[in-house]
Amino acid sequence: MMLEVKDLHVTVEGSEILKGLTLTVNPGEVHAIMGPNGAGKSTLSAVIAGKDGYEVTGGSITFEGKDVLEMEIEERAQAGLLLGFQYPVEIPGVKNIYLLKAALNAQRTARGEEEIPAPEFMKLVREKLNFMQMDPSFLQRAVNEGFSGGEKKRNEILQMLVLQPKLAMLDEIDSGLDIDAMKVVAKGINSLRSEERAILLVTHYQRLLDHIEPDVVHVLVDGRIVKSGDKNLALELESRGYDWLVEGSAA
Amino acid sequence: MASQEMEQLVRREYTQGFVTDIESDTVPPGLDESTIAFISGKKGEPEWMLEWRLDAYHQWLKMTPPSWAHLDYPPIDYQAISYYSAPKKPEDRPQSLDEVDPKLLETYEKLGIPLHERAALAGVAVDAVFDSVSVTTTFKDKLAEAGVIFCSISEAIRDYPELIKQYLGSVVPKADNYFAALNSAVFTDGSFVFVPEGVTCPMELSTYFRINAANTGQFERTLIICEKQAQVSYLEGCTAPMRDENQLHAAVVELVALEDAYIKYSTVQNWYPGDEDGKGGIYNFVTKRGDCRGDRSRISWTQVETGSAITWKYPSCVLRGKDSIGEFYSVAVTNGRQQADTGTKMIHIGEGTRSYIVSKGIAAGRSDQSYRGLVKIGPRAKGARNFTQCDSLLIGDRCGAHTFPYQEIGNATSTLEHEATTSKIGEDQLFYCQTRGISEEDAVSMIVNGFCKDVFQELPMEFAVEAEALLNVTLEGAVG
Amino acid sequence: MSEEQTFIDALNRRMAARDAAEPTWVAARRQAASARFEAVGFPTRRDEAWKYTDTRSIARGTFVQADNAEFSPAAAAALTLPLDAIRLTFVDGVFSAALSDLDALPAGATVETLSQALESNHEAVGAVLGRLAGVDFSPFAALNTAFAEEGAIIRLAPGTVVETPILLQFLSREGDQPTMCHPRVLIEAGARSEATVIEHYVGETDAKNFTNVITEVLLDRGAIVQHYKLQEAPVGDMHIASVHVDQGRDSRFTSFNLNLGGALVRNDIVADLNAEGAETQYFGLFFAQGRQHVDNHTLVNHNAPRTYSQESYKGILDDRARGVFNGKVIVKRDSQQIEAYQNNANLLLSDRAEIDTKPELEIYADDVKCSHGATTGQLDEEAIYALRTRGIDEQTARGLLTLAFAGEVMEQVKHDAIAQRVELAVAGKLPERFNLAGLVEAAVALGEEG
């Protein structure tokens, strides 16, 4: 198994958001976590990525047998755990090309590999840019600065394509995307699918799952996974909403 | 706005300019050791106090007046000033309002400060200074019950010599600057407040200063001490009558806050600014400084400055205690020929210290106004933070508004943000208000008050109301 | 003997040793400047303009004026900016014809050395030189006027557009005896003319010389001048410079003041916006480390209505370096409808570094939109987090963001050779703990790849 989250309890500013969440993700699988607003979906991915301000009060997260909670933020990424943000931050002045190069080298160094030679790096980046239908000028622009919502999301996927994580976590990657951008983003994500890799999609809507077919769908309500199933569960949620599950959880 | 209207408004008469006719016991003009001995003797001071004064005087003799301020005024003849004036029989001070000269009460009425009513209604203790001598002090019982000492500095020198020896001059040293040295030599009165450990002063303390006798420099000395976890809010307000000769005012205010103590010091200053040609206004050279000596202590200065011909004033905070906080909220309005060079100094010494500066300057007529501020972050003030907002509004094209902020930053973990803007009242803002049926004058008043809101909301309630009224009077019609 | 007297004696010896007589006005100006300098002396910390900058290391120094411009062409090539330029080179203040190249100069433009210009028509020089920079500007301006022997005179006839940048290169040499030079640069831009002038200060690593330069720029109606100053002087050099600008109607002046080198550096930039529509922009970057001291004083005088100014300065200070920024905007009475914006942001990388900043506004007209901001602080923690989630370690993330901080000024630079040079220099200067070596390499590779 790749990622194992066991009985995870997380508190933010004194209130408990995750209340005993358990989840197992194996290589090759695509998982979708769905749920109503405020259920704790974004908290889960933020905690796995190591964001400040989230207090783990119980449970564990292991990634390939290692205790994720003991790892530094960058160690998690170097180990292959990569988060695609719902709201990617703008970093004025830091060129995309620098970010990509520094991140890729950090990963390779962590694995004990040599840094990537510049020509090879450029070739790789150009190829991925092309695949994401992005203009090369974009490499010289500052990370996310002045990007449209769609460009920011594409940029998140581009980073995934370059960095080739073992587990790609995508937090509401579909929010704010029009249908064309959605298709490009979905194409990028689908290209990441492989036997060695797992993908964790966090989403509010079924829409994204029309383009990326999940192996497992989980419903997260009030800090716990209340139901898991195959892709049909997502369709059922689409037609019935979350209320029937929310009531179930309250009971 | 039409320029005649502006003219008309600019020419508004000083509504609080009048003279109260009370006999004074005044020493002849001039300053030497005997003048100081006279003042000290009049006050019945102990020998050590006289020596303290004389030491200040000797240091002052070696000093020169500061010239760095953006101010232009003729040299002051310190030998032409009379350094002491008191009501005829100082030993027969009135013990209650009933005993106070009705003319004085009348004066307060004219000023819009119905002292007795106001004091009674608002529960404010009033230490009214009239011609350099405390005339009346009320609510002493209630304060005594809480253990708070609130009296004139002269009484304090007599009754609490140990506190005076410990604290006087400990924040503003005798020779701190030219005017502070002069004050230390010749101060005649002022207030003393001591709030003991753990006590929150049960009422807001207020003193109304009023300069009266012609040619009499007024040299107040105020000392406020808050022990651990003590709190006090002190209100100071001033107006002065119309005079031909310039009157010198050089006050010193010292605040000491120990651990977890909080001192809030608010001022409304509306001294006579001089006539249309700038003649006869008050010269105001003030040294105000607070020392946040204890950890987590906090000192907050709020000022509304509308008067004086010359203002030279920089209420400051020395942030020594860990996590201590200094605040400065200021509205300064100048009109006519007024000149003001005012601002603050925030000296960050302790770790985690924070300071906030909000300064709003409004210049009208032919006035000139400067914000001068210093934020100094020492090498040991790790994680210190400062935020400064400093805005100027210009009304008319004959005035000036200037900003001189100094920032000296000596460590890598501090954060400073300084923003300043200078603009005029937007035609579009005025137009918008007018299309809503608001008169131009009201619209200006609304906009100016809105401009100052961040500061007014820091004032105690009754002061805020008075400040808004004062602002409207000061700019009445000047605005356009 | 007073420190001032040492300099005056040096001047007198220099003049006595001259073989040819100077034009009378030159000699008279020298004398007046020398008298002025003697009267005011070197500035002290008591002078408000020098409050944070101590120039005793100059006053107490012993400097000689160089007499030759020998410099190995290979060494010069290694130091020069890699761009096509109309080039004048000065070695310790002495003109080097061998390292200069005026081939690309178009008709309508003249570029001469000061001595050439004096020889060909000294009255024309005398009519303009010193008009903006009087001896009372500062003791160093007086010192320059007393000593000045060489420099560059650039004249653009109305309508002349010089597309190739004009590069004035000042090389500082190592030697047993520290040298001093007092160059003058004069740029006269005729109506609607356009040019880019780059002053580049660079030299041999162990040089310890004193450069005291004055630049005057006159822009006639509609002229556009971009002025770059790239100061990469050796870290032992003393560098005092002032730029004085006079702007006519609808003219546009842009200043890039980029300071990376020098032990003691002081820059003064003064622009007078004298007619409607004049616009000036100041961009500055300073990066100081070790015990470097960099002081930038800028002044914009809005002397006419509807004039515009914009300013952005950034400083990065490490180790025990000290930075000073003093930016002043003055709006004269009746100069209505002014827009003036000024910003200064600083980053301190060490607890022993210090920045003293003072953005000033002095405004005497009411219909204005003026603002200034100054911030000193740390890097954005959220950005650091975002970089770390991509596997970049915290120190590298901090390095990247520091580079980005400088980059915001460099984005405005129109010449890649300058922008890249500065970016690489900044990356290379960042502490090793920031681990940017690999990225600098990548940047170089990218640059080479085009």
Question: Are residues A38 and A24 in contact, defined by beta-carbon separation less than 8 angstroms?
Answer: no
Strand partners, B28: none
Residue B440 lies in a domain: yes
Q: The pTM is what?
A: 0.81
Greater pLDDT, A145 or C169: C169
Q: How far off is chain C from A234, nearest CA to CA, in Å?
A: 29
Cβ <8 Å between B415 and C356: no
Which CATH number fits the domain that encloses residue A205?
3.40.50.300
Q: Virtual CA dihedral for C157, C158, C159, C165, nearest 10 degrees?
A: 40
- Assigned domain for B122 exists: yes
User: How does the average pLDDT of chain A come out, rounded?
Assistant: 88
- The pLDDT tens digits of the residues spanning A189-203 come to 999 999 999 999 998
∠ CA(C311), CA(C317), CA(C322), 5° rounding? 90
User: Closest-CA residue in chain B for C46?
Assistant: B68
Residue B270 has pLDDT above 80, yes or no: no
Q: How far is C337 from chain B (nearest CA, A)?
A: 10
Is residue A210 exposed (0-12), middle (13-18) or buried (19+ Cβ within 10 Å)? middle
Tokens of A159: 């980073």
The total of structural domains in chain A comes to: 1
Q: Which residue has the higher pLDDT, B240 or C354?
A: C354
Tell me the C-alpha distance between A95 and C16, whole Å.
58
Q: Which residues of C284-306 are buried (b: 16+ CB within 10 A; e: fewer)?
A: bbbbbbeebbbbbbbbbbbbbbb
From CA B422, how far away is CA C372, in angstroms rounded? 9
CB atoms C358 and B398 under 8 Å = no
Strand pairing class (B247-249; B282-292) = parallel
- Which residue type occupies A189? I
- The per-residue pLDDT for range C177-189, each reduced to its tens digit, is 999 999 999 999 9
User: C400 in contact with A at a CB cutoff of 8 Å?
Assistant: yes
Check CB contact under 8 Å for A98 and C403: yes
Chain C residues with CB within 8 Å of chain B CB: 48, 333-334, 336, 346, 348-378
- Residue B297: which H helix or E strand, with range? none
Check residue B240 and give its pLDDT.
Answer: 43
Structure tokens at C446: 């990218």
Which band of pLDDT confidence, cut at 50, 70 and 90, is reported for residue B435?
A: low
Model confidence at B79, pLDDT cuts 50, 70, 90, reads confident
Does pLDDT of B21 surpass 70? Answer: no
pLDDT in the model for residue C223: 96
Flag whether pLDDT at B275 surpasses 60: yes
Q: What is the pLDDT of residues B316-369, one digit of tens each?
A: 999 999 999 999 999 998 888 889 999 999 999 999 999 999 999 988 888 999
Look at strands B262-270 and B231-239 and give their pairing: parallel
Considering A47-51, A224-228, B238-242, the range whose residues carry the highest mean pLDDT is: A224-228
Give residue B123's pLDDT.
32
Kindly tell me the sign of the dihedral angle through the C-alpha atoms of B97, B100, B102, B105: negative
For the cut 50, the answer to whether the pLDDT of residue B6 exceeds it is no
Contact (CB<8Å) B392/C367: no
Of C334, C350, C368, the CB nearest to B422: C368
Express each pLDDT in B145-200 by its tens digit. Answer: 889 988 888 889 999 999 999 999 999 999 999 999 999 999 987 889 999 999 99
- Confidence label for A6 from pLDDT (cuts 50, 70 and 90): very high
What is the mean pLDDT of the segment spanning B262-273?
Answer: 86
pLDDT at B262 over 70: yes
From CA C388, how far away is CA C431, in angstroms rounded? 19
Residues of B within 8 A of C361 (CB-CB) are 392, 401-403, 420, 422
Top-ranked range on mean pLDDT: pick from A138-152, B19-33, B246-260: B246-260
**Higher per-residue pLDDT: C396 or B12:** C396
Residue B92 scores a pLDDT above 70: no
Q: Exposure of C424 by Cβ count < 10 A (0-12 exposed, 13-18 middle, 19+ buried)?
A: middle
Looking at residue B125, its pLDDT comes to 41
Closest partner CB to A74 (pick from C394, C400, C439)? C394
Q: Which of B396, B399, B418 sits opposite C375 (nearest CB)?
A: B418
pLDDT of residue A212: 92
List strand residue ranges (DSSP E) for C248-367, in order. 252-259, 264-273, 279-288, 293-302, 308-317, 322-331, 338-348, 354-363
Pick from A177-186, A239-248, C176-185, C389-398: least confident: A239-248
The arithmetic mean of pLDDT across residues A220-246, rounded, is 86
The tokens describing C395, both together, are 């120190």
**Is residue B135 pLDDT above 50, yes or no?**
no
Specify whether the CB–CB gap between B215 and B80 falls below 8 A.
Answer: yes
Among B215-229, B448-462, C92-106, the range of highest mean pLDDT = C92-106
Q: How many domains does chain B have?
A: 1
CA distance A107 to chain C (A): 6
pLDDT beyond 90 at B225? yes
List the one residue out of C293, C8, C294 whose CA is nearest residue C142: C8
CA-closest candidate to residue C394, choices A77, A156, A68: A77
Are residues C396 and A51, on separate chains, in Cβ contact within 8 Å?
no
SS3 state of residue C227? strand
Going by C-alpha positions, the residue among C301, C329, A167 that lies closest to residue B402 is C329
C405 interaction partners in chain A (CB closer than 8 Å)? 93
- pLDDT for position B344: 95
Strands, E assignment, B119-213: 125-130, 133-137, 149-152, 191-195, 205-210
B394 falls in which pLDDT band (50, 70, 90)? confident
C36: closest CA of chain B, how far (Å): 24
Which subunits sit against A, judged by 3+ Cβ pairs under 8 A? C
Amino acid C69: pLDDT: 94
A91-143 pLDDT, tens per residue? Answer: 777 778 888 888 888 888 888 888 888 888 889 999 999 999 888 888 888 88
- In this prediction, residue B398 carries a pLDDT of 86
Q: Return the partners of chain C (3 or more C-beta pairs < 8 Å).
A: A, B
Q: Is residue B331 assigned to a domain?
A: no
Nearest to C400 among A52, A102, A118 (CB): A102
C-alpha B392/C-alpha A85 separation (Å) is 42
Least confident of B88-97, B126-135, B400-409, C206-215: B126-135
Distance, in Å, from the CA atom of B358 to the CA atom of B455, rounded to the nearest integer, reads 7
C365 and B394 within 8 Å at the Cβ level: the answer is yes
The alpha-helical segments, DSSP class H, found in chain A are: 41-49, 73-79, 96-110, 118-131, 149-163, 179-192, 231-240, 243-250
Q: Spell out, as residue ranges, where chain C has pLDDT lower than 70.
A: 1, 437-450
Burial of B419 (0-12, 13-18, 19+ CB in 10 A): middle
Confidence of residue B57 (pLDDT cuts 50, 70, 90): very high
